[in-house]
């Protein structure tokens, strides 16, 4: 058929754009076709499928970029949480929980002359019907873990299955219940590996068909250190704090925190070993609590802290006003003792300290009476001090030396 005139040219251009695509004319590759998302039936992952873009040149070699957005609606409002590139037409993307997800895909040139990446197209995927929510686990002892959940839709045949790695699914042997509802599972499995993730499936019948909810739990991020026991001992002038250590966790994964009050003064010690030493003040009472911390060194995005231990006590608080009270009691006692000693000494030495003096009244009375006898009597009556007369020898004379004495008289004497 031959088309003539302007109308024929318009029809040819429309046919060309339909077969080749506008993106090819603009220099961009066309996006993939038949883009679809679905939940994988046997794993916690999203199955992504698509077909090659229409009208792609046989000599043009391309790959595809998948962008993952954890958002309820497309197009997304935030940057992608993860991106991956593949040359295949199918991809299995693992996720940690079933939730709303948006996936974008673009076509990228590998060997295509003067071609650019295509425009990103989006597809959203809603989570399957939920039987439970708030699924969480706590690895609390060696090879032991408790998992709990909240019932959303009651199903009498609810069951939990789990596996690690490529092992087969195992069913829960010990359920935690609340009335007739199964609200948890106690796992005590010798094959449970603390450094691997665990894949869980909770299944049951709802709305006349089988419903399955899937979860992945990283044990390293679900460790629950036990509440420690703190012991206090005195070592000389220091106090030694010792916390009990969990035997199912590697020592290099743990740190310890001590919070202690000393005379109502709060202090905190954060160390790598289970013991700590602090200066001891005998006048203070110590209240000590301990905590075990599972650090990010052994996995997990943040430190996991145990519950605080029960408080332990050491010593007794002294009275802050004790010195003042002692001074108030001792000082008056010392003063009293000094006064008593002073009085006793004064009485013993009263005559020396306060000697007797004449009575001037008698002296002046005798003078007024103008009687010498009275004066002499008063003066001789022992009222005045009468000095003792010195005895002086009299009538002694010196005789000259006689020549009549024998010359050796002096030596004879």
Percent of the chain scored above 70 by pLDDT? 77
pTM above 0.85? no
pLDDT band with cut points at 50, 70 and 90 for residue 6: very low
pLDDT in tens, 243-258: 999 989 989 999 999 9
Helices assigned H by DSSP within 305-359:
322-348, 350-353
CA distance 196 to 48: 26
What average pLDDT does the segment 155-163 reach?
A: 94
The answer to whether residue 320 scores a pLDDT higher than 80 is: no
> Going from the N-terminus, what domains does the chain have, and what CATH number goes with each?
33-125 (2.60.40.10), 132-220 (2.60.40.10), 230-314 (2.60.40.10)
Least confident interval from 20-24, 328-332, 348-352? 20-24
Q: How many CB atoms lie within 10 A of CB 106?
A: 21
Q: For the residues 125-144, what does the mean pLDDT come to?
A: 93
386 or 225, which is more confident = 225
Q: For residue range 69-123, what is the model confidence (pLDDT) as tens digits?
A: 998 889 999 999 999 999 999 999 998 888 899 999 999 999 887 889 999 999 9
| Residue 91 backbone dihedrals phi, psi, to 5 degrees | -150, 140
Question: Region 309-337: what's the mean pLDDT?
Answer: 79
Residue-level pLDDT at 70: 92
Q: Residue 22: which pLDDT band, with cuts at 50, 70 and 90?
A: very low
Q: What are phi and psi of 129, to 5 degrees?
A: -55, 135
Torsional class of 395: left (φ above 0), alpha (ψ -120 to 50), beta (otherwise)? left
- 267-284 pLDDT, tens digit per residue, is 888 888 899 999 999 888
Which region among 276-280, 301-305, 352-356 has the lowest average model confidence (pLDDT)? 352-356
Return the pLDDT at 263.
84
- What is the pLDDT at residue 315? 86
> What angle is formed at CA 270 by the lines to CA 267 and CA 276, rounded to 5 degrees?
80
What is the pLDDT at residue 12?
Answer: 37
Instruction: Check whether 24 has a pLDDT greater than 80.
Output: no
Other CB atoms within 10 Å distance of the CB of residue 411: 7
Question: Residue 276: is it exposed, middle or buried by C-beta count within 10 angstroms (0-12/13-18/19+)?
Answer: buried
Summary mean pLDDT of the chain: 82
**9-23, 70-84, 357-371: segment of lowest average pLDDT:** 9-23
Residue from 130, 134, 176 nearest 153 by CA: 130
pLDDT confidence tier of residue 355, bands split at 50, 70 and 90: confident
- Collapse the DSSP code of 296 into the 3-class scheme (helix H, G, I; strand E, B; otherwise coil) and give the result: helix
């Amino acid at each position: 058929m031959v088309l003539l005139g302007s109308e024929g040219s318009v029809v040819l251009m429309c046919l060309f754009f339909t077969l080749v695509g506008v993106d090819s004319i603009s220099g961009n590759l066309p996006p993939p076709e038949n883009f679809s998302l679905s939940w994988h039936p046997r794993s916690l992952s999203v199955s992504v499928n698509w077909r090659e873009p229409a009208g792609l040149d046989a000599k043009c070699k391309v790959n595809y970029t998948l962008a993952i957005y954890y958002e309820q609606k497309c197009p997304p409002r935030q940057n992608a949480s993860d991106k991956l590139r593949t040359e295949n037409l199918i991809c299995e993307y693992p996720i940690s929980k079933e939730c709303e997800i948006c996936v974008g895909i673009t076509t990228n040139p590998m060997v295509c002359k003067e071609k650019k990446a295509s425009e990103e197209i989006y597809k959203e995927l809603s989570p399957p019907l939920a039987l439970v929510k708030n699924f969480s686990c706590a690895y609390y002892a060696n090879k032991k873990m408790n998992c709990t959940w909240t019932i959303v839709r009651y199903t009498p045949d609810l069951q939990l299955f789990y596996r690690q790695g490529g092992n087969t699914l195992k069913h829960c042997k010990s359920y935690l219940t609340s009335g007739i509802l199964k609200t948890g599972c106690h796992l005590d499995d010798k094959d449970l590996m603390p450094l691997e993730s665990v894949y869980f499936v909770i299944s049951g019948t709802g709305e006349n068909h089988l419903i399955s909810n899937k979860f992945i739990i990283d044990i390293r991020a679900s460790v629950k250190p036990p509440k420690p026991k703190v012991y206090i001992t005195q070592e000389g002038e220091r106090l030694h704090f010792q916390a009990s250590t969990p035997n199912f966790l590697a020592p290099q994964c743990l740190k310890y925190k001590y919070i202690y009050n000393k005379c109502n003064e709060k202090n905190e010690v954060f160390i790598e070993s289970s013991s700590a030493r602090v200066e001891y003040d005998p006048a203070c009472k110590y209240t000590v609590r301990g905590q075990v911390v599972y650090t990010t060194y052994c996995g997990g995005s943040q430190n996991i802290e145990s519950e605080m231990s029960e408080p332990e006590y050491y010593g007794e608080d002294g009275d802050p006003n004790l010195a003042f009270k002692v001074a108030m009691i001792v000082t008056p006692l010392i003063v009293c003792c000094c006064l008593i000693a002073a009085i006793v000494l004064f009485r013993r030495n009263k005559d020396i300290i306060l000697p007797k003096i004449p009575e001037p009244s008698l002296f002046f009375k005798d003078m007024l009476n103008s009687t010498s006898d009275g004066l002499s009597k008063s003066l001789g009556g022992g009222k005045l001090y009468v000095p003792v007369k010195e005895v002086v020898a009299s009538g002694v004379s010196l005789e000259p030396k006689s020549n009549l004495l024998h010359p050796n008289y002096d030596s004879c004497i």
